[in-house]
Structure 1
Amino acid sequence: MTLPRRALLTGLPLLAAPVIPEPARATPREPVARRASSRPYVSGRGGYAAYRIPALVSTRRGTVLAFAEGRRDGSGDSGDIDVVLRRSTDGGRTWGPLAVVAAGNGNTRGNPAPVVDPRTGDIVLVTCGNAGDVTEAQIMRGEVTAARGRRVYVQRSTDDGRTFTPPRDITDAVKRPGWRWYATGPGHAVALTRGPHSPAGGAPGRLLVPANHSTAPARGSKDTGREARHYAGHALYSDDGGITWHLGYQATGPAGTVNVNETSATQLPDGRVYFSARDQNGGAPGNRLDSYSSDGGATLDRPYAPQPTLNDVPVVQGSVLQLREDGAPLLFSGPCVPTERRAMALWSSADAGRTFTRLATLSDGPAAYSDLVQLGPGTVGVLYETGPYDALEFHRVTGIGGHPPAGR
């Protein structure tokens, strides 16, 4: 579907968010300083009943781009939903006006997965969509046509996120026949900067988007209700800066054992890609799964397996980010109450994702989806849903990995 190139601007008041003391049970091991910086999205304002599904990148110029789904009629996952954006040129302290990047025009557009092309500095954005009057459950049961089901789109910005090209449909290149549900990310995608797929010697490098899909029940299966809800993971990638796209790994484990859903990815210092996924009510213990790829996401080194050191995380999307400095940790963000979506926290891994340790708790209130972006040495931004889905809140977190906490 081709949409007109446009940007809808509207003012959203900036609300200050209080710093919430960290619970005693989550005392950080490192001198981490937290600052609740701002609320770029507040539900009920700017023409939308709710904002959900955060995604973050920092551009070559240092501009922070905060993407989200603007849901016009409520917090539900279907209906009239746009992909929206706010830009910050001061590290997330204040935000510019809201812009519509991909308009639903009555249909559903979402699951933003942005990435900065390291060769050009362009922002490449991959999203998904479907007809606004169908639900995920209907799509997973195979009750809708391909044209009304999940489609995949790509857009580009060459001006630091001020404007984007119209969405271009890439579904035929990255979705196999028989797949029903399809979701990119959500959260930032990955530009590979190490190893054979890095942009060395003028090569474009690889842009990698983690994703998931569902498949039809096995022929003759008596348990169609359960298998119809089976999710599997995959990746899509581009080796020419987002012009053409290809399917990478496809992880299709047995239904009910692991249901790979809503995946985040980051590149480790040794060049491997680390994948962290939500286990959507699978039979494995815990709610988080992970895996690795040594060939840029084309295949997995091993099947997805439970990550036991993140057992405090409930069934929810989470984000991973490898900091750039030598010896810096791998971070994970997500709620830290295993039975409900509450208390957004950061975890740190010093061993490439084998184990995680709680680093800091950012709030003790309702919290759900999140995304991470690096803002400077030892400094990250966290954009996350507060609740129940009343805002997207942005926190600056400093002093990670031995770097002195930044001044206020």
Structure 2
Amino acid sequence: MTVLSRAVMPLAAAGLALLAGAAAATAAPAAAPDGPAPACTSSVPFTAGQGGYAAYRIPAVVSTRRGTLVAFAEGRVGGAGDTGNIDVVLRRSTDGGCTWGPLAVVADDGHDTRGNPAPVVDPRTGRIVLLTTYNSGAVTEAQIMRGEVTPEQGRRVFVQTSRDDGRTFSDSREITARVKRPDWRWYATGPGHAVALTRGPHRGRLVVSANHSAAPPAGSSDTGQEAKYYGGHALFSDDDGVTWRLGYVDEDHDGVNNINETSAAELPDGRLYFSSRDQNGTSPGNRLDTYSSDGGATLDRPYTVQPTLNDVPVVQGSVLQLRGPGAPLLFSGPSVPTARQAMAVWRSGDAGATFVRAATLSQQRAAYSDLVQLSAGRVGVLYETGVSGPYETIQFRRLPMPDLLN
């Protein structure tokens, strides 16, 4: 069992002092887990330069059966870049996101990269199931996509679980051979929360959205066009995260829609809605979407542009189906089409066919995000933001649901 402790890392004493300051800065009246709301609207669980990490990126958040919020991120030792010494870290909140416990390390591969956290709470056991991906810290995404690395250096997939509300996690268990095809190069889980199906013939299934890149065909002249070979897929487990297999695989590499980072939500009718970043495809928009009627095994149609989200730039986004009769589907992401700026939330009353903007959280720089439903009529948004750049902090914002519905 992995013992979660920041104290084993370098700069621990300084990190604890900084964390104490951060906790004081976000202090609020105590409350039962996600019960009557403390007097807060926002908090900052991750701040660049604190806790022994130069930067924090790639947020993901889940709410456990007990109402504990577990916020995950990548702790990047050398800076905000995607390569190098990167760990998966977390902080826990028992008051609905107003205050946060100490920083803890979930996965640390030395000087290598572990990231793309995709957590989900298993509805049958209550365990947190966490998928992450690995690569050597000495290689880049571009090198992996060009096929210039060994399988050991390339992207590999791991799963961990927590039985105690995120206090500790099991050791990592590799599942690469079950969910990554031999000709795939890049691979990324999520990022952002995964989905547990609650209705229909696949009730209890855990579904993780992911993306990959394929090798260009032999003799292809597509040198320098690696993004054209991005694709989306899903992986799922029907036994509480013990075994995994591939679901749908998008293999359309025409360069029109380049499916990349993807999030999913279970709609009230049992279908899955998938929302994807279009990685500079030639289609006129930056968001793509599709549906699955069989729990992620196949797609109802190919990915197509979602034109009512054209304000969103090329970036990851999050989707969340709210609970309750007539509740909408939500999407979060920056709202300036040419920049990572102005985090916003959109809502859809027609299962993702169209979206309208419901709230703009700030005009500051902003990038990746993840949505979570809270009790007491609130929604949480965990998102990257800052004044000079979007990666200065990861903030948690609590939004009253009426503000999103009206």
TM-score (norm 1): 0.90
Is 1:186 aligned to 2:195, yes or no?
no
Pick one of 162, 172, 185 that aligns with 1:167: 172
Q: CA RMSD in A?
A: 1.6
* Paired letter, 2:166: G
In 2: Cα distance, 1:150 partner to 1:36 partner: 38
* Paired letter, 2:339: E
Paired residues for 1:319-334 under 5 Å: 319-334=318-333
Secondary structure, counterpart of 1:95 in structure 2: coil
In 2: Cα distance, 1:284 partner to 1:229 partner: 12
Deviation at 1:35, TM superposition (A): 6.2
Aligned twin of 2:31 = none
Contact preservation (8 Å) 2:358, 2:403: no
Aligned twin of 2:291 = 292
* Paired letter, 1:139: I
Contact preservation (8 Å) 1:379, 1:398: yes
TM-score (norm 2): 0.91
Pick one of 4, 9, 32 that aligns with 1:7: 4
Paired residues for 1:26-45 under 5 Å: 36-45=41-50
* Paired letter, 1:348: R
In 2: Cα distance, 1:402 partner to 1:192 partner: 24
Is 1:139 aligned to 2:139, yes or no?
no
In 1: Cα distance, 2:402 partner to 2:210 partner: 29
In 1: Cα distance, 2:227 partner to 2:371 partner: 32
Aligned twin of 1:73 = 78
Paired residues for 1:58-69 under 5 Å: 58-69=63-74
Paired residues for 1:278-289 under 5 Å: 278-289=277-288
Number of equivalent positions: 379
* Paired letter, 2:236: Y
In 2: Cα distance, 1:246 partner to 1:193 partner: 19
Contact preservation (8 Å) 1:15, 1:39: no
- Identify unmatched segments of 5+ residues in structure 1: 18-33, 199-204
In 1: Cα distance, 2:130 partner to 2:201 partner: 23
Contact preservation (8 Å) 1:14, 1:38: no
In 1: Cα distance, 2:40 partner to 2:354 partner: 26
Structure 1 runs (4+) greater than 4 angstroms displaced: 401-404
Q: Select the structure with the greater relative contact order (CA < 8 A; seq sep ≥ 6).
A: 1
Deviation at 1:253, TM superposition (A): 1.3
Contact preservation (8 Å) 1:328, 1:401: no
Deviation at 1:402, TM superposition (A): 8.1
Secondary structure, counterpart of 2:352 in structure 1: coil
In 2: Cα distance, 1:142 partner to 1:367 partner: 32
**1:105-141: per-residue Cα shift (whole Å, max 9, x none)?**
1100000000000011000000001011000000000
Is 1:397 aligned to 2:399, yes or no?
yes
Contact preservation (8 Å) 2:146, 2:226: no
Contact preservation (8 Å) 1:15, 1:38: no
Contact preservation (8 Å) 1:215, 1:228: no
Aligned twin of 2:156 = 151
Aligned twin of 1:195 = 200
Distance 1:377 1:303, change over 3 A: farther
Contact preservation (8 Å) 1:368, 1:385: yes
Pick one of 99, 102, 116 that aligns with 1:111: 116
Distance 1:361 1:16, change over 3 A: farther
Is 1:263 aligned to 2:262, yes or no?
yes
Distance 1:228 1:336, change over 3 A: closer
In 2: Cα distance, 1:42 partner to 1:284 partner: 36
Is 1:210 aligned to 2:209, yes or no?
yes
Aligned twin of 2:271 = 272
**1:46-76: per-residue Cα shift (whole Å, max 9, x none)?**
0000000000100000000000000001000
